[in-house]
């Protein structure tokens, strides 16, 4: 059958799924299902409009309808919308969460392609980072999203890289501390700190305390555009640089270079362009942040302008590579 470009561009199904996630329809219906009237009452929506939505979700295979009881229930596919689903994708679809809200800015992609400026700021009146700073609920959902993203990869990152060489690590922009906690678990001689904005730093301190790591791990509130805690053996930037354009990425790398011990390292962990990063996520980074995925050569070039030289590259997780940089020798 000939592929239809119109079918590829259809917005009805993706938006219906996102609204279902936002309303919690899979949770409200449960495994036994519920009528449209009951679901409308529990979600504060219009019963006729919700019926229209549910009928389309039935067509899409996300819900099933039992004509005898008039109940709609989530299929195995629809069960993925539940908050407790193992795949944990709901934060990426719920339009009241940081991830789902950001995805809606794709509606303004034309402006990004025309001007190069992020669509997110055009749509919401402030950039992504200012938005989640102003809304604690969005900040919490963003940290949860990052935790979901790294739930499998954080232990791999900890095990597949020789962190034991670095007695003291600073995880720059390390969120709620998931990656650093895994590194410390795998390498008992290592100590570390997370540096991030205050709400995330507070969450990281809580994680370390709950994991029994408080004697080896700390959290410092701050920005990676400001001076960093000095003298650490390694500064880690995990999924940070692709959120920023080249000028801001250089500023972040320069702060790490300024803070590092003379023989210290800057470890950049990123999906690489054409090597783990899809074209879709590259487009998202541009649309949302004005950022981009980069190749090893492009990251090496950015680091070189900050006095850093590439030492080694190491695959550390599916779709992610660690680039270890050291202080570049003085010319001559």
C-alpha span between 17 and 23 (Å, rounded): 10
Q: How many CB atoms lie within 10 A of CB 22?
A: 17
Whether pLDDT at 329 is above 80: no
- Rounded to a whole number of angstroms, the distance between the first and last alpha carbons of the chain is 65
Residues 1 and 37 sit within 8 Å (Cβ to Cβ): no
Residues 222-237: pLDDT tens digits? 999 999 999 999 999 9
Provide the pLDDT for residue 151: 82
Residue 189: helix, strand or coil by DSSP? coil
Mean pLDDT of 234-253: 97
Residues 6+ apart with CB under 8 A from 195: 170, 171, 172, 173, 174, 201, 219, 220, 221, 222, 224, 228, 229
Per the confidence metrics, is the pTM higher than 0.85?
yes
Nearest Cα to 219, choosing from 192, 194, 185?
194
Residues 198-228: pLDDT tens digits? 989 999 999 999 999 999 999 999 999 999 9
Q: Which two tokens stand for residue 12?
A: 């009805």
Q: Which two tokens stand for residue 104?
A: 């809606």
Provide the pLDDT for residue 286: 96
Catalytic site positions: 242
Mean pLDDT of 62-72: 97
- pLDDT grade for 85, boundaries at 50, 70 and 90: confident
Whether pLDDT at 332 is above 60: no
């Amino acid at each position: 059958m000939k592929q239809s470009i119109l079918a590829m561009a259809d917005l009805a199904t993706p938006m219906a799924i996102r609204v279902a996630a936002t309303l919690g329809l899979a949770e409200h219906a449960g495994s036994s299902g519920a009528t449209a009237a009951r679901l409308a009452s529990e979600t504060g929506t219009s019963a006729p409009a919700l019926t229209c939505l549910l009928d389309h979700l039935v067509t899409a295979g996300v819900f099933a309808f039992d004509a005898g009881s008039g109940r709609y229930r989530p299929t195995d596919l629809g069960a993925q919308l539940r908050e407790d689903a193992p795949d944990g994708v709901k934060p990426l679809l719920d339009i009241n969460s940081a991830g789902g809200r950001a995805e809606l800015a794709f509606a303004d992609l034309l402006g990004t392609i025309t001007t190069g400026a992020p669509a997110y700021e055009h749509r919401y009146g402030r950039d992504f980072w200012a938005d989640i700073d102003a809304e604690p609920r969005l900040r919490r959902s963003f940290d949860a999203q990052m935790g979901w993203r790294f739930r499998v990869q954080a232990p791999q990152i900890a095990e597949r890289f020789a962190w034991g060489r670095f007695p003291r690590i600073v995880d720059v922009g390390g969120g709620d501390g998931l990656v650093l906690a895994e590194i410390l678990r795998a390498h008992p001689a290592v100590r570390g700190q997370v540096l991030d904005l205050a709400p995330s730093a507070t969450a990281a301190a809580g994680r370390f305390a709950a994991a029994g790591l408080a004697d080896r791990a700390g959290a410092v509130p701050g920005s990676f555009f400001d001076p960093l805690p000095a003298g650490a053996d390694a500064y880690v930037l995990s999924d940070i640089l692709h959120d920023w354009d080249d000028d801001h990425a250089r500023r972040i790398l320069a702060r790490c270079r300024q803070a590092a011990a003379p023989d210290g390292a800057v470890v950049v962990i990123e999906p690489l362009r054409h090597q783990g990063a899809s074209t879709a996520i590259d487009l998202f980074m541009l649309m949302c942040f004005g950022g981009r995925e980069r190749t090893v050569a492009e990251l090496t070039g950015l680091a070189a302008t900050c006095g850093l030289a590439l030492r080694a590259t190491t695959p550390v997780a599916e779709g992610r590579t660690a680039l270890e940089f050291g202080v570049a020798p003085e010319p001559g």
